[in-house]
Structure formats: structure tokens, C-alpha cells
Structure 1
Amino acid sequence: MSLYSKIGILTLAITLGWSCTDLTTALKAQGLGNSPYSSIGMGEFYGESYSDNTGMGQSGVSTGSGFQINNLNPALWVRNRFTTLDIGLIGQYKEIVAGNKNQRNAGGNLAYVSLSFPVSPRWAIGVSLKPYSFIDYQNLSTRLVPETSIPAQYYTTGKGGINKASITNSVQLGRYVSIGLESSYFFGNVRKATDVSVPFSNSGGDYIVSLSDKTTYSDISFRAGAAARIPIRKDNKLNLNLGGAYSFSTTINSTHVRSFELTQGSFNVIDPDTLENNLSGGLTTPSQFQVGASLEWPFKLIVSADYSRQAWSQFRSFSGANDNLKDVGRIHVGMEYLPRFTSLNYFNLVRYRVGFSHGKTPYTINKNDVNDTNVSLGFTFPMGRGYQNFLSVALVGGQRGTAGAGMIRERYGRAVLGITLLERWFTKQKID
């Protein structure tokens, strides 16, 4: 690869890195579509999997192909022997049913930008930037003003989220074991508002009471991982892979601003007031562990199974509330198949994936658990000169919750598009 091409890739990565904050902020206004569940806790999570692992039911904490970055486990970044740039986009379509109400919506966002490069055969460093969670909801209800017979309309909204910028160090220990540490910086803000419209027929219009909250987040966190590749058959024909990752619970520093406004028509009844200004506090995130195992026939077939668990009982909002969230577990299974690595037929070089994931969410509605189940398909298409770059597509379809009394059911279709660019850097040139 020429020096100019290397500079071009670095420039692209740096430009994307600097612009991702503005890009995610702009797209986050739309988010991934209206989600009533995002009003609880920290909102919706994007997850750590990139496009290839998403197509395998978000499994793969124990194995890395070396062709794409496996972000489920920091210990697997060292498997990438090439300088690797991964960029991903995510889109989602959702149908929401609550009682006799039905809504369809869609949204999209940047999924991730990552750059990994090997410092030595046993050490790799990576940087990444991705959205971590999002809040995107809007609800309208009508009920009586307390201690009166006057009906009022309550309109609640929430927008925003938390982003994560990370540096990953991954090291190979001996022949079979690798370890890794991801150091991350959380940043972002969330805006929530409640507008109450109270009708007064003998006046110049309805009274509108508005209460707005803005919370800004910034702090660091850590995620560690380990992986082992154990040969079962000689000549690297079959491997048993074991892996695990642990995300540490952390309290993210937060500042909070709350304002109040009372208007009638387009005029202020009283001057707007700031009730809380830059009040300091914290948001405690849940710890999470992931463990997994897989059987790998190199350059042919991978079958993986993972289990993950999040300790949502540790969660505390800015106000110190837990929102009645509970610890939950989830299973992930997936398979990747490569027909023939040495074939001249293009479709024999395409990697095909299928996956399944099921688990409980931390939410409880009317004493009923809210489950989430999905299936996935994935494809990785080689492209470019020598087929050393890749275009990956993951398609996910699932359902969360049920349509029972007082419940909310979400049926969703999700797509993740990933682009992977590979090159050899830091290689000494030889002259024949």
C-alpha cells in the first residue's frame, strides 16, 4: 500500500472521529424510532456487536476471524494481523402496539467507527467511537388535573443519549491465551420535557405548563476480556475457543438543569424560571459479564454459544432511583459458514451467518416480565482488489413484550451495514 493511501485512510478515520459527535447528535434527534421502553433507566442500548457478530445472534465473545474487528471481547482485537478500519450504520423499523393503539416508525444512526492496528505480532491497539445508549420517546395522555374535574393533556418527550469513545489494548500471552482492556470515555446529554395543556374556555387560550430537564454526562469506564484458542485436531483443523468479557459498573458524572415555564397562547403568564442550574450528581451503570464457547473449523465453519448477564439492580438514575429494574440474562447462539476459502467462485468466498438470541429485559409491567427474542441473518461480501476488503450486512427481526392488557408489544426489523478496510502497516519492505 502506498504512503498516500495510508495517509488517506488515517485522514478518513480521524475525520470520522472528529465528526462523529456532530453526526450522532444530528441523527440521534431521530434515533432508532419512538420506543416507550427508552423512558426507563438509561434508555435503549446499541450493544457491543458489530455487523458480523450481529448476524450471528450477537454471539462470538470467544472467537475472532481476524478479518473484521470483534468488539464483543477486547482480548480478540489482537487476532487482527492487519490494520483494520471498520465503519457501521444501523437502521430500524418498528411496529408498536399498546391496547387498541398502533404505531409504526423508523430511524437510523451511525453504529460505530473503529481503527485497529498491530503494534507487534503479540500486541494490537484500537480506537473506536460509537453510540452507547439512546432515549427516544413521546407519549400523549389525557387525565384530570388533581383535585379538579378539569381534563388536561399530558405530553411527555425524551431525546438524546450517551456516546462512547474507547481505546483498546489487546495482548497475546503465550500460544493460546489473549487478554484485553478497553478504556472508554462516556459523553452525551438527554433532554426530557413534560407539557401539560389545561383548557380555560373563558380566557385567551389554554394554559400550558412546561417542565424541561437536561442532563449532561461525562466520565470514564473500563471493560476487560480474556480468550483462549485450544487446538483439538492437529494441523489447525479444529479449535475450541473460550472467552469472556466483563464491563465494570461505574458512576458517570452528571450535571442537571431544570426549567419551568407557564404560558397562555404565545404569551408568558409568568417569567420562565430555572429551578435547578448545573446541579451535580451521578448515573450508576450496571455491570455486565459475557461468557462463551465456540467450535471453529478455520476458514470453514464457526458454531458459537454465549451467555450474558447485566446487573440492573445496581442502576441508579440522577435522582437515585432504580426504576424497579432487575438483573437479567440472555443467550446468544450463531453460526458462520464459508463455502470454500480457496475457490475462484465469488459466492464461495461469501461468509454466511445465522443466529438466535433470547432473554428477559430489565423491565416489569403490571408484574409481568418483558421478554425479547430475535433471529438474524448475516452476509459478508469480499470486495476490492484481491478481495481484501469487505461489505457486511446483518438483518435482525424480533419481538419485545406482548400485546396483553396494559402491556406494550414491539415488533422490529433491524439492519446493520458494515464496511471493513484491511491493509498491512508497519511491515518492513524487502528488496529482491
Structure 2
Amino acid sequence: MSQYSKVLLLTLTLGLGWSCANLNAQGLGNSPYSSLGIGEFYGDAYSDNSGMGQSGVSTASGFQINNLNPALWVRNRFTTLDVGLVTQYKDITAGSDRQTNFGANLAYLSLSFPVKPRWVIGVNLKPYSFVDYQNEAIKPVIGTASVARYITSGKGGINKASITNSVQINKYISVGLESSYFFGNARRSSDVNLVMPGENPDDNYLVSLNQRTTYSDIAFRAGAAVRIPIKKENKLNLNLGGAYSFSTSLNAENTTTFELTQDSFPVTLPDTLNNNQSGSLTIPEQYQVGASLEWPFKLILSADYSRQSWSQYRNYNNLSESLRDVNRIHLGAEYLPRFTSLNYFNLVRYRLGFSYGNTPYVVAGRNVNDTNISLGFTFPMGRGYQNFLSFALIGGQRGNSGAGQVKERYGRAVLGITLLERWFVKQKLD
């Protein structure tokens, strides 16, 4: 590795690691649905899989890390650093109201390295979910001439730090285990601003109920993958894969305070209703299965199905919040024109994807569905084209403007940077 590459690698690792620690609670812009459950999810797909409809549980190229299945990390034969950034533009409609917003965040920071030819260890740091919403309503106070302004808001999120062990059992089968530590917090508040008629607005009373919940615990995800040759000389493979995330109960500590203020000055001393009260939050099990046809270094066609049992979710107060099980399909294709070509654009990998399913959220007794399509590109870069720059563009819609739901039309972009290096290859002397 050149001195320049070492400096670049160290700068990316330290700089983006600091960014993840400081930015992962900021979310991707206002999301009304993040007020339900533990918020909105980032998903496990990296930039390359994001461009294929978030599919790829059964196959991996070895050029980039595939985080959808712990068993596929072993395909990375060289030390690999994968860094991702995500941005999102969203158009939100609720009845006659409309809002647009934009958000950006670090999507993932991963490092994998081969310990032995058939054993790879990986470390990963990424946001898991985020809470970012603010809702406002004005209603009359019954029996008086006053009106009350109700404001509910939330900020925060849960993050995930993981260690993955991936092993090649034989020529065709690999298995993996991801051990993760969840951590983070969410802050939610409910404010009521009482507006008295004929009085100075600065004299209005504000009643605030503030809640802060901190989460921490460990969780596990296991995976397996099988590559079955269909044609001789590795011309066509059938890949099968699956991943299972075990249900876990996150430790939770809750602090709730009550305040009454007038013109920003306290009317009474703030009252702490509970302080660091212990509880738990249940994240349900999830399984993913997939199959793909692979013409090595040419074409991949993949199809995945995922299900997570959010009906088993329980919040800090042991309530289900009426969440429903999530079922999704993911379809994707990746095309590499000519791996041995001297033409640069024949070395670019092109992707297309589609994903459809429901979210955990239910509004007015109806599921909130999510549909999206995606495009992706991976550009080789650097000396020997051993590093890669990937883009994924995703456009979709969640919910609809009827039946009391909120319709969200979104455009998301994921940028991935992949650096490969042969750190653990033994040098031979003539």
C-alpha cells in the first residue's frame, strides 16, 4: 500500500467514525411515521445492494462488502474498507398540507479482513433507526374562548456496532454470525400552549411533558449461503442464501419531566415524574431468504423475500402500538459489460432494482405500504482499479393522502467508497 493510500485510509476511518458518532441521531429529515415504534429504519443494504432493490441475500461479488447476509462477508478475500453516505429529499402531503425537506447522514462504516483463506472478520458501525418528527394542531378549549396549540416532537435514534465472523465451510457453503451492540436514545415531548383571548401572547402558559429513553443491549444475526454450479467451468451458478435476526429485548432507561412555564419563565419548579427508571423494548425477529442466478463477472439476477414480526414489538410501557408484521419483496439485476476490457465503461457495473411491501405502521386501520425503484453504478478507480466508487439512486412512495394517512414521495441517494488492500497476503522471496 502506498503512503498516500495509508493516509487516505486512516483519514476516512477516523473522520467518518467521528461523523457516525455525532451525526447518526440526526436522521434523514422530518418523518411523521417515525413517531411510531422505534422510528424509521435505515436498512442493512449498502450502496451496491441499494441499487438492486435492496436485494442480494444470496450473492456477493467480493469487490464490496455485502451486509445483507453475515455468511457473505467471507467472499471478500482482501482487506476492505467500505464507507457510505446517504441523502434524502422528501415531499410530504397530508390532506391540503404539504412540506418538503432534506436530510443527510453517514450510512455505514465497515472494515473486513481475512484472518485465514476461509475465515473473514468484519467490524461495522451504522445507524439502525431514527426518530425525527414535529406535529402541530390548534384546537379550541371547550367551555372557554381560549384555544390550545398542541405540539408533539421527537429526535434521536438507535445505532448498531457489530462484529461479524464469516467462514467458508467448503467450496460451496459459507456461514456467518453477526454480534451487535445497540445503543442510542430518543427524546419525545408533548407541549400545550394555552392562548388566552385579549392577553399579551407572551403571557401564555406552556405545559410540557418531556421524555428521554436511553437504549443499550446486544443482539445476534446468523446467515448461510450456498453456491451451486449449474454449468461447468464456473459459467453459471445458482445461489441460495438466508439470514435470521434473533429477537432481542433492549435495556431501556426512561426519564420523564413535567414543566409549566409562562413567557419562558417557570411557574413552578420542574417535576421529575421518573428518573432513569429501568425497562425494556422488544425488537422482533426477522428472516430474509433469497435466490440468484450468477454469470460470474457478467450478470446477476436476484430475488429476495424478507419478513419481520413487528406485531411482537413492545415499547417501554409494554405496549405494541398496533404495529404489524412487515413483508417485502426485493428484485435486482447487476450487469458488467466486459470484465477483461480495456474500455473503462465496460468495467462499470450497472444495476436496476425494485422493492415493494408494507411498513410496520398502521393508520386508520390500513397498512402504510412502500414501493420504490432503484438505479446503481459502481465505477472502478485508483491504480489497478482496485478501489470503487458506487452510487445508488432510489425513488419511491410511502403511504397515501387518503384515509388519514400521510403520503411521502422520496428520492434517496447512497454514495459508497470502497478501498481494497492485500494486507494479510504473505510476501514470497525468490
Q: Same fold (TM over 0.5)?
A: yes
**Which secondary structure state, in structure 2, belongs to the residue aligned with residue 41 of structure 1?**
coil
Distance, in Å, in 1 between the alignment partners of 2:84 and 2:38 is: 23
Matched with 2:374 is 376
* 305-314 vs 264-273, greater mean Cα deviation: 264-273
Distance, in Å, in 2 between the alignment partners of 1:6 and 1:74 is: 27
AA of the residue aligned to 2:30: N
Matched with 1:130 is 126
Matched, 1:153 2:165: no
Distance, in Å, in 2 between the alignment partners of 1:104 and 1:2 is: 45
Distance, in Å, in 2 between the alignment partners of 1:46 and 1:248 is: 18
Distance, in Å, in 1 between the alignment partners of 2:274 and 2:4 is: 52
Matched, 1:248 2:246: yes
Matched with 2:21 is 21
Matched with 1:172 is 168
CA contact (8 A) 1:94 1:104 kept: yes
* 304-313 vs 360-369, greater mean Cα deviation: 360-369
Matches within 5 A, 1:283-298: 283-298=281-296
* Aligned residue-pair number: 428
Distance, in Å, in 2 between the alignment partners of 1:121 and 1:242 is: 22
Of 142, 148, 156, which aligns to 2:138? Answer: 142
Matches within 5 A, 1:31-430: 31-145=27-141, 150-201=146-197, 205-430=203-428
CA contact (8 A) 2:242 2:288 kept: yes
**TM-score, normalised via structure 2 length:** 0.96
Cα separation, partners in 2 of 1:62 and 1:147, compared to 1, 3 Å: farther
**Which secondary structure state, in structure 2, belongs to the residue aligned with residue 20 of structure 1?**
helix
Task: Deviation per CA, 1:158-180: give whole Å up to 9, x if none.
Answer: 00000000000000001100000
Q: How much does 1:361 deviate?
A: 1.2
Cα separation, partners in 2 of 1:148 and 1:226, compared to 1, 3 Å: farther
Distance, in Å, in 1 between the alignment partners of 2:242 and 2:71 is: 9
Q: How much does 1:189 deviate?
A: 0.7
Structure 2: 5+ residue runs without aligned partners? none
Cα separation, partners in 2 of 1:358 and 1:22, compared to 1, 3 Å: same
Identical amino acids, percent of aligned pairs: 71
CA contact (8 A) 1:99 1:405 kept: no
Q: How much does 1:387 deviate?
A: 0.6
* 191-200 vs 232-241, greater mean Cα deviation: 191-200
Cα separation, partners in 2 of 1:264 and 1:304, compared to 1, 3 Å: same
**TM-score, normalised via structure 1 length:** 0.96
CA contact (8 A) 1:127 1:165 kept: yes
Distance, in Å, in 1 between the alignment partners of 2:199 and 2:140 is: 19
**Coordinate RMSD, CA, aligned:** 1.6
Cα separation, partners in 2 of 1:365 and 1:282, compared to 1, 3 Å: same
Q: How much does 1:8 deviate?
A: 6.2
CA contact (8 A) 2:370 2:398 kept: yes
* 63-72 vs 203-212, greater mean Cα deviation: 203-212
CA contact (8 A) 1:13 1:115 kept: no
Distance, in Å, in 2 between the alignment partners of 1:216 and 1:246 is: 26
Q: How much does 1:11 deviate?
A: 6.6
Cα separation, partners in 2 of 1:146 and 1:133, compared to 1, 3 Å: farther
CA contact (8 A) 2:19 2:106 kept: no
Task: Deviation per CA, 1:47-104: give whole Å up to 9, x if none.
Answer: 0000000000000000000000000000000000010000000000000111110111
AA of the residue aligned to 1:415: A
Q: How much does 1:328 deviate?
A: 2.0
Cα separation, partners in 2 of 1:278 and 1:129, compared to 1, 3 Å: same
Task: Deviation per CA, 1:390-414: give whole Å up to 9, x if none.
Answer: 0000000000111114121110000
Q: How much does 1:423 deviate?
A: 0.7
